[in-house]
Structure 1
Amino acid sequence: MSDMTPVRADDLPAVLDYLRGQTACAMFPLANLETHGLATQSGHSRAMSAWVRYEDGEVVAFLGMTRDGWMLPVLAAGDPLLDAVTAPLSMRSYEWILGEAGAVHSVLDALDLRHHPMGLLRDEPHFLLPLSDLVMPEVAGLLLVPADATRRDLLIDWRSQYNADVHGTSPSVAAERAVVDVDAMLETGSHVLLMQGDTPLAMTGINARAGNTVQVGGVFTPPARRGEGHARAAVALHLAALRDATGAEEAVLFAASDTAAAAYRAIGFSRIGTYTMCRLARPT
């Protein structure tokens, strides 16, 4: 027996159990729900509205949306839940669709978005690393420092380049978003800089945490310093510090390029699947 329903507070324990059963593919909705809850409970931008499909009393499919327009499906390709939520989703505003490749491409088909102008549609290799298997690269003379307000201008410049490179946004939009992104980083203390003396070499951060799993994101090396191993050093040092200080046990990430993928494999990450990032183009 199958039942499709909007998620209410009473559903949250079953929904969280479902998402925790596939944490690596569900980091963003899981972290959002654990931290900010449902949109009916919180006004936070990452609080979520969500729909689920039950089968024999258990959640078997999930689709959530944050207040700020991130759609996050965790379901099998072609799941019947998509047919049930087409109408309510068509009345909502969203910009991003993120998730396992089969889920995202099924959403695009169900919502008839294949011909919608895209700012970004990219399938990326999805990686997992048990932190007990972390391989440390050469890090002599390197250290991590918090990405704090004393370096706000640098962080905004780097994040603007990151948004243009990774998210495919125009320079003006990339710069606009960078200010918001950096202010969020500073508020949460999520990112760090790799330093050699007084010289910043690279940046990395944690975009989400659920239980003992962390989602690596925002990894950036300025163009003049690329090819020198700084990104892998930054990520490895940060993950080692989180493992030792907070008990983190595994890390997940997705790679925007073959170069990035090679760097992550070098410190122990293994591919577990494909993750799709879709950003619908803004109206002009």
Structure 2
Amino acid sequence: MTSTPLLPAVDARPVEALRLQSVVKTYGSGANAVSALRGVDLVLAKGSVTAIMGPSGSGKSTLLHSAAGLDKPTSGSVHLGGTEISGLRASQLTAFRRDHVGFVFQAYNLLPALDVEENITLPLRLAGRRLDPRWLDSLLDAVGLADRRHRRPAELSGGQQQRVAIARALITRPYVVFGDEPTGALDSRSGKQVLDLLAHTAKELDQTVVVVTHDPVVASHADRVIFLADGAFAGHLDGGTPAQITDRMSALGEW
């Protein structure tokens, strides 16, 4: 009988949702080494919405994956909800990420044989955790799918499927919800609905949201836009309009 790995104590009400300190990520070695992140420092407050932008190859997805515990930094530390996840063993990190990290991919990754409710609650079943029916009802209302809870993915539009994926990411009440181009496969109307929903959950559910995007309209929904270039921070913009964000991206050579 295998024992469940013990996790470090976690602050149940952290003020800081996420902290990265001097995070470096290098792929390869010697002359073939590529530095994807070069000493990144970042602190995000609980309940904030942050967009990460930058030219192709700037380190956006690497930063997101490192912050979410999907990839381990070469050096530096990542603290999520008060716990240093960069120091956890693989088994500990898997258990922690399952319970405390939500991730919304560009591909919806819904199981076609399961209905909306079953897809949303799948992470709880996999973790052997009990479902809170009131929380499920609250999420279904928040994503506007209360009347479609028993529909299967094939019966939903692309925007509705992405809303299911967002609710699934929220069902475990994670410290942070990460999105890797979560609107990239959607039309502009559906994409706006998804970003409005993420902003709503951040404010109403005190949920921290971090998204990587290339779309200035999407980024304009965030409280702060962080710009990356060559694996390092290249500035930020608070409350920027799509035009202002486009101008900043132009300065980085994106457009």
Same fold per superposition (TM over 0.5): no
TM-score, normalised relative to structure 1 = 0.30
TM-score, normalised relative to structure 2 = 0.32
> Which has the larger Rg?
1
